[in-house]
Amino acid sequence: PTTTLASAPPTNTAKQPPVPFTGLTQDLRMRWSAEPGIDLATGPAVIVRAYRESFILGGLMADPAFYYPGFENAVPQRNYSSWTHSVRPLVRGDHNLTTDGFEVTTPIAGTWRQHILSLTRDDVGAYIALVCSWDYGVGTLQENGHYSYYRQRRLPPGQLASDDIGSFVYRITFTPPPDANPGLTNTPQIGAAPSPSTDVFGGWKIATAFRTNGYSTPAEPANPWPKEVFERDQRTCTAK
């Protein structure tokens, strides 16, 4: 991950090779920040960063080939009857990609800002991260040669208005390796490269990730993110 944006927008719309931040995404960059006391360079925050960036890149390209190394082993498959229903982005082959996905087919440029709002542990040792995501600074190349916000500006019934201006909040739960080996998370993950070349997930596992308020399901009746708590967290992200 890096905090800089490449200069000139790409003009070649040929098929992108499966390498993050090349081709269509060569002028897209992620910028991270966090609340005081949260170390972005080491520890569990590294997993949050790698997961979110993999999710974004895989979703933009609608192709699992763009996930960071280790994502496939660290992240469960989606199960629509449990809290893993949105743990992976929609990719080609998913029936609802065109309606619910965020694939792009022209160059995308800008700075996608993300902020770790909180990073805590529950009673059994799992981590819970609340992540603000602001994508309003990201645009795709249009037929007129200009860039505009890459998401369609529409508000489905019940969706918060802040979604329309590119402000979201995500709740991510994940667990450390069972052998207490932190893997590469003890090595500071900073540098000029926009993405890692090796597996930073190690034995860490993503359990759930979603950006809508919780609800009860037959498989998991407990609601981990009640509507009033979700809306409070959403307002906090929107106000930052």
Least confident of 65-69, 96-100, 111-115, 163-167: 163-167
Q: Which residues contact 25 (CB under 8 A, 6 or more apart)?
A: 16, 57, 60, 61, 108
**Non-local CB neighbours of 176 within 8 Å, separated by 6+ positions:** 44, 125, 127, 182, 203, 204
Structure tokens at 93: 């082959």
**Chain-wide mean pLDDT for the chain?**
82
* Helical H segments across 8-43, by residue range: none
The HSE-up count of residue 7 (CA atoms within 13 Å, CB side) is 0
The tens digit of pLDDT for each residue in 109-166 reads 999 999 999 999 998 889 999 999 999 899 999 999 999 888 755 545 555 444 557 8
Looking at residue 99, what is its pLDDT?
A: 86
The distance of Cα 48 from the centroid of its chain, to the nearest Å, equals 8
Torsion of CA 22, 92, 85, 117, to 10 degrees: 20
For the stretch 15-27, pLDDT in tens is 544 788 988 999 9
The CA–CA distances, whole Å, from 191 to 3, 41, 69, 112, 119 equal 10, 10, 17, 18, 23
Check residue 4 and give its pLDDT.
31
Amino acid 34: pLDDT: 97
| In the chain, % of residues over pLDDT 90 | 51
Percent of the chain with pLDDT over 70: 75
Tell whether the model's pLDDT for residue 44 goes beyond 90: yes
How does DSSP classify residue 231?
H
Q: Which pLDDT belongs to residue 3? A: 31
Query: How many whole angstroms separate alpha carbon 200 and alpha carbon 179?
Result: 16
Q: Where are the beta strands (DSSP E) in the chain?
A: 27-34, 108-121, 127-134, 138-141, 147-149, 167-175, 205-210
